[in-house]
Chain A
Amino acid sequence: MVVFNLTQFSGKELTALPENGRIPRNLVGIGGRINTVSDTILELKKIKKSFGGNTVLNGLDISIGRGEFLTLLGASGCGKTTTLRIIAGLEQPDGGDILLDGESILSKEPNRRNVNTVFQNYALFPNMNVEKNIGYGLKIRKRPKEEIRRRVKEMLEMVQLPGFEKRMPDELSGGQRQRVAIARAVINQPQVLLLDEPLGALDLKLRRQMQLELKRLQKKLGITFIYITHDQEEAINMSDRIAVMRNGVFEQIGTPNEIYDHPETSYVADFVGNANIYRTPDKTYAIRSENILLGGEPECMIPAVVEEKSFAGGQLRILFALEDGQKITASRYGIDYDLNTGERIAIGWKEASAAEVIDNG
């Protein structure tokens, strides 16, 4: 678990206002409610979907602002891809409605929706070169050859692959394929771009770099991004808002700050912040591991036994067992904690760092 430097997420940074300034300032910090219609580009209303009796989406409700970077975050199988496919028109919902720019697109074929997708596996056409892949949408729309050539060239420059026109998809690296997939979608100037774990297949270093590039691209284009990941860190780094999904519903929608600092449920606290969940007979609290005190501060009143010590990502993690069997993890930078396994100490936390949450496991 990497600990985030929270000052990095001050409100201004997070809003990520595009240059054209269409995104309303009131977008941030109001728990995902956008009031005026013109600020909303896409609206999901009570979207339901089941596959053969297995309910996958159970009433999704969300309004997404123009130029917003929204991330769908959730465990594997919670319905993220299904949500995107329904927006793209590749899957029909069983109930509910989708409004794009105030108009229902439910009855529209995928090719009639002004929405494009970057697929989880990129789905580049293997027998077409990069130029034909990127130009596909324009060719289908019967744009002149000269225009297609020019715009493909521009797109390639934008995704930093100049001169790659004649390469075939199997001659590209994972990161390059991913850029081609983005270029192929973006060239059609969609109102909303759907990205299904576009960085999932990349190694950590390339992933960091691509995160920055994607964010830069999104700001430059001013296109609304709906972005899927199950990497909490990626979600926090890139999003204007995060929708935490679980069992086919949005459990909490909010800015990264809200999700990280004020989780509403124990599930969100655990999934996004990797927080400790501490239960008293009548209340449940979420406390992040870096806020667990073990240095003999006055708050340290809970007896605990060191169960395990591990070192990962520049951090020492110490797992404590409390007397009632609950587990608490503390984390510290550095390895100079001379606590031994089996040792008995008192731990605690400041009242302010414990967030009260709804206990839902």
Chain B
Amino acid sequence: MAESRKTIWPLLLPIYLFTLVFVFAPLVYLVVLSFMTRAEVWGAVPRLTLDNYKRILEPLYLRVFAESIRLAVSSTAIILLAGYPFGYFMARMSPRWKKRMMVLLMIPFWTSTLIRLNGWIIVFRSNGVLDKFLMALGLTDRPLKLLYSYPAVLVGMVYALLPYMILSVYSSAEKMDWSLTEAARDLGAGRFQAFVTITLKHTLPGVLSGVILTFIPSMGLFFIADLLGGNKIVLVGSVIQEQLTKGRNLPFAAALSVVLFVLTSLFIALYRRIVHTGEPEGLY
């Protein structure tokens, strides 16, 4: 064991270096930056301060964080509820249909998310496609003004991130040995019981990675909120971007990023804890 580690070490060196340079170093830089003071014109001066963090505690910014978390949690929940069955049934299709579904899922990745989100603007805007459709059906008599609202942002988030959930659930359901579910049914479990006690457990890794893959970006995807939420929905990501550009306050942007990073990590850790506590006993 020790021997093989020794021999493999040089091979792993590039990976370590890469991680060090491109992941670890920027993080350290970010943390250091967040304790510095804003420079007159651009950048930061190395005068240590806690002001940046104190500023985050102002109600204005706390509300932004709360809004971001609310949006991230609810969009992740919707994505999970919609993406799990999709990935699950995709894994049960014949190989031919799997390939077709895969192509369908890949198509959105060929164009920029920004362009596709503009499609949603056309749908949501006042007197847009959705309004016209609903009015034609007689479900409403005047435009709903859905653009620049919370639901519009939610739809945008779900739309942009759903494929990641589908693909990760699919990849773990694909590895599932379905004879185990059959064995459970044979031993007396109903469809639902077999699903909960066997299938769900075996696809949990996919759910876990799917949630992580959607929750983290949904905390930070500011341009979706900007495009579909206008200035009504302000997320942490938007504030960071604003501070970097218009505000030209690098240290404060860094502090916001650090808090966002810590919060996201906490949520993921909490979630992993919940998911990993033994069997879902109560569901029997």
Contacts and interface: CB of A to CB of B under 8 A. Distances in A.
Interface in A123-140: 123-127, 136-137, 139-140
Interface in B202-218: 202
B64 interface: no
Given A139-B284, A140-B193, A140-B284, A116 B179 contact: no
A121 B179 CA distance: 9
Contacts of A124: 183
A125 B284 contact: no
Interface stretch (B119-127, B184-192, B249-257): B184-192
B154 interface: no
A119 B189 contact: no
Interface string A108-127: 01110001110101011111
A123 B182 contact: yes
Nearest to A181: B183
A136 B186 CA distance: 11
Contacts of A119: 179, 182-183
Interface residues of A, number: 25
B21 interface: no
Contacts of B202: 127
Given A123-B177, A127-B201, A140-B193, A90 B182 contact: yes
B284 A116 contact: no
9 contacts: A110-B186, A111-B185, A111-B186, A111-B188, A137-B187, A137-B188, A184-B187, A188-B187, A188-B188
Contact of A109 (B177, B187, B190, B284): B190
B183 A117 contact: yes
Interface in B155-200: 177, 179-180, 182-191, 193, 197-198
A205 interface: no
A110 B284 contact: no
Interface in A252-300: none
Contacts, number: 61
A90 B185 contact: yes
A123 B181 CA distance: 9
Interface string A125-163: 111000000001101111000000000000000000000
Nearest to A194: B186
Contact of B187 (A89, A126, A140, A142): A140
B179 A123 contact: yes
Contacts of A125: 180, 183-184, 198
A126 B193 CA distance: 17
A123 B180 contact: yes
A88 B187 CA distance: 10
A140 B179 contact: no
B284 A88 contact: no
Given A110-B182, A123-B183, 7 more contacts: A90-B182, A110-B186, A111-B186, A126-B180, A127-B201, A185-B186, A185-B187
| B interface secondary structure, majority | helix
A116 B201 contact: no
Interface in A19-51: none
B185, B191, B193: most-surrounded residue (chain A CB, <10 A): B185
Given A88-B186, A110-B186, A142 B284 contact: yes
Contacts of B184: 125, 136, 140
B180 to A, nearest CB: 6
Contacts of A142: 284
B185 A116 contact: no
Contacts of A126: 180
Interface in A85-110: 88-90, 109-110
Contacts of B188: 111, 137, 140-141, 188
A47 B284 CA distance: 35
A111 B179 contact: no
A137 B185 CA distance: 9
Nearest to B194: A111
A188 B189 CA distance: 12
Contacts of B186: 88-90, 110-111, 115-117, 185
Interface string B67-109: 0000000000000000000000000000000000000000000
Nearest to A121: B179
Nearest to B190: A111
Contacts of A184: 187
A188 B188 CA distance: 9
B201 A136 contact: no
A111 B189 contact: yes
A117 B182 CA distance: 10
A12 to B, nearest CB: 35
Contacts of B201: 127
Interface string B134-170: 0000000000000000000000000000000000000
A150 to B, nearest CB: 18
B185 A110 contact: yes
Contact of B185 (A109, A127, A139): A109
A125 B190 CA distance: 16
Contacts of A88: 186
B204 to A, nearest CB: 10
Contacts of A89: 185-186
A124 B180 CA distance: 7
A18 to B, nearest CB: 24
